[in-house]
Amino acid sequence: MALYSEKVMDHFRNPRNVGEIPDADGIGEVGNARCGDIMKIYLKIKDGIIEDVKFNTFGCGSAIASSSMATELIKGKPLSQALELTNKAVAEALDGLPAHKMHCSVLAEEAIRAAIKDYYDKNGIEYDKSLFPEPDEDEELHED
């Protein structure tokens, strides 16, 4: 059995939505201290809908594939739906990730949340703070 699904390999070899949005409405950057992966997600938002999303990821193939798939899953969606995206949904959309690579899908979920929070903060939009828990130092390591 192959370690990675065809979808993971496709999104790694042909990532969607790579790049940055210079005038992004929200930017989220997260990293994993243990493996060194860094994800940065840029959102362009109009009337509560994610019109465009781009990412830059420094990391392994699973991190790149997770970023790519996550952007595909939220593009064109309302912010409320993007906030519901879980790392498990990202992994499922990729037809699975090896257990030791699940932290990559967690980073994608966290980067999206950070970008939405940035948008809310920049625009003075009220939000439920429980949707954006502050990670403590142990959580940032994404212990497996």
Q: How big is the CA angle at 82 (ends 66 and 63), to the nearest 5 degrees?
A: 10
Centroid of chain to Cα 91:
11
Q: Active site residue: 83, 91, 97, 104, which one?
A: 104
116 φ/ψ angles, rounded to the nearest 5 degrees? -70, -40
Q: Which pair of structure tokens corresponds to residue 124? A: 């003075």
Q: Is 35 a catalytic residue?
A: yes
Q: Active site residue: 8, 24, 35, 82, which one?
A: 35
Q: Please answer whether residues 28 and 57 qualify as being in contact, where contact means their C-beta atoms are separated by less than 8 angstroms.
A: no
Q: Is 104 a catalytic residue?
A: yes
Distance CA 66, CA 97 (A): 9
**Residues labelled as active-site residues:** 35, 104
